[in-house]
Amino acid sequence: MQFNLVATDPQSKARAGVVQTDHGAIETPIFMPVGTAGTVKAVHQRELKEDIKAEIILGNTYHLYLRPGLDILEQAGGLHKFNGWDRPILTDSGGYQVFSLAGTRKIKEEGVKFKSHIDGSTLNFTPENVMDTQRTIGADIIMAFDECTPYPCDYTYAKQSMERTHRWLQRCVDRFDSTEPKYGYNQTLFPIVQGSTYKDLRIQSAETIASFGREGNAIGGLSVGEPAEMMYEMTEVVCDILPKDKPRYLMGVGTPANILENIALGVDMFDCVLPTRNARNGMLFTTQGIVNIKNKKWADDFSPIDAELGGYVSTFYTKAYLRHLIHSTEYLAGQIASVHNLTFFLWLVKQARQQILNGTFRDWKDMMVKKLMTRL
């Protein structure tokens, strides 16, 4: 994997770059749609490529391990072949499920025991087997196995957990570096900075992670309920330590405003379920601000969802029609809203990139953050 830094904004730490993978290039800053189980919910692969213009999508190790399972993925020749997505894929390691499935898992030094949310069976995830699993899934970018701590998290636990995540990282690296990709294209491993909302821990973790000298680095454990200002503070501290010549991926973030603020702090890559999950509940992110399409005010609004954004769904379908679909709990509602929101998120990062290249990012960002948070 190659990363080329193309431009840096003069008035912020925003960067524009290009990540080269064997499945093609990714222009950064980038937003990565989440395809948990090998599908971005309610979105066809053709729409992802041609309408949304996604450059890389996520898969989730925990979910893919359970369904369709490693046998099927390996027989298919990896996830790209299985789901037909021929651009880059990044897989989360299961570290997020250590957080989100906290009620049904046990952490030990060796690894994590999960209870399957499908059939209750036991899953043992270790740093080593999570590397093997991601080798088999065939992601271009593989994440280290970590613990994503909750918010709030007491200092002692945050420190213990971070230190274990660092020990797990060494085990991940040892396993990853002693194994080969399975399908003829390269894979790379990103380590993850933890440390909860404690500045000193974040500094310690960022220094540790940077010392591994991997091809890219991630920031985890944020966007788990902490105030946005606290997230920005942590991101800034960490970005100032992580190497400039490697891409920085802020996991699970976030709203359009969160994304722009974090780009300003030096983040290159983002992912979040927000655009698709909120779409299914009728929350639209548009070039003019936030629309709750369920509201009565849209019932007789026959204007396109977002004429300025462009693209098939946003210009073809009207607000009134989409409101009708969501009130009628029709499948098409989630389909339209998901494609629209993802198109918007990809448009947003592409705009941000252009502003960075123009050297005008900072002022544009300040203006956009206000606009995008407006509720229409």
Beta strands in 129-243 (DSSP E): 141-143, 188-190, 192-193, 217-219
Is 325 near its own copies (CB under 8 A)? yes
Q: Out of 8, 39, 287, 351, point to the residue binding its own copies (CB under 8 A).
A: 39
CA nearest neighbour of 120 among 134, 132, 103: 103
* Segment 248 to 287, residues that bind its own copies, using CB under 8 A: none
**CA 32-253-57 angle, 5° bins:** 15
Dist. CA 65–CA 60, nearest whole Å: 8
Taking CB under 8 A as the binding criterion, the range among 18-26, 168-176, 294-302, 340-348 that sits at the site for its own copies is: 294-302
Report the residue number, 308 or 330, with the smaller CB distance to its own copies. Answer: 330
Residue 306 annotated in active site? no
Find the helix packing angle between 228-241 and 199-211, rounded to 10°.
40
Starting at the edge strand found earlier in the chain, the sheet holding 112-115 runs 105-107, 112-115, 122-125
Taking CB under 8 A as the binding criterion, the range among 10-18, 141-149, 255-263, 312-320 that sits at the site for its own copies is: 312-320
Q: How many helices (H) and strands (E) does the chain have?
A: 15, 17
Report the residue number, 302 or 375, with the smaller CB distance to its own copies. Answer: 302
Report the residue number, 109 or 302, with the smaller CB distance to its own copies. Answer: 302
Task: Find the catalytic residue in 51, 140, 268, 271.
Answer: 271
Instruction: Map residue 270 onto helix, strand or coil.
Output: strand
Task: Find the catalytic residue in 92, 140, 268, 306.
Answer: 92
317 assigned ligand-binding residue: no
Residue 154 annotated in active site? no
Is 85 near its own copies (CB under 8 A)? no
Is 41 near its own copies (CB under 8 A)? yes
Q: What DSSP element (H or E) covers 88? A: none
CA nearest neighbour of 304 among 284, 321, 280: 321
240 assigned ligand-binding residue: no
Is 197 near its own copies (CB under 8 A)? no
> Which three-class secondary structure string do you get for 313-348?
HHHHCEHHHHHHHHHCCCHHHHHHHHHHHHHHHHHH
194 assigned ligand-binding residue: yes
**CA 62-187-162 angle, 5° bins:** 55
The DSSP symbol for 305 reads S
Dist. CA 1–CA 22, nearest whole Å: 8
Site string for its own copies, 56-75 (x = CB under 8 A): -------x---xx--xx--x
Q: How far is the CB of 181 from its own copies (least distance, A)?
A: 20
* Segment 100 to 119, residues that bind its own copies, using CB under 8 A: none
Report the residue number, 44 or 164, with the smaller CB distance to its own copies. Answer: 44
Is 297 near its own copies (CB under 8 A)? no
List the catalytic residues: 92, 271
Residues that bind its own copies (CB under 8 A): 37-39, 41-46, 63, 67-68, 71-72, 75-76, 81-84, 299-300, 302, 312-313, 316-318, 320-321, 323-325, 327-328, 330-332, 334-336
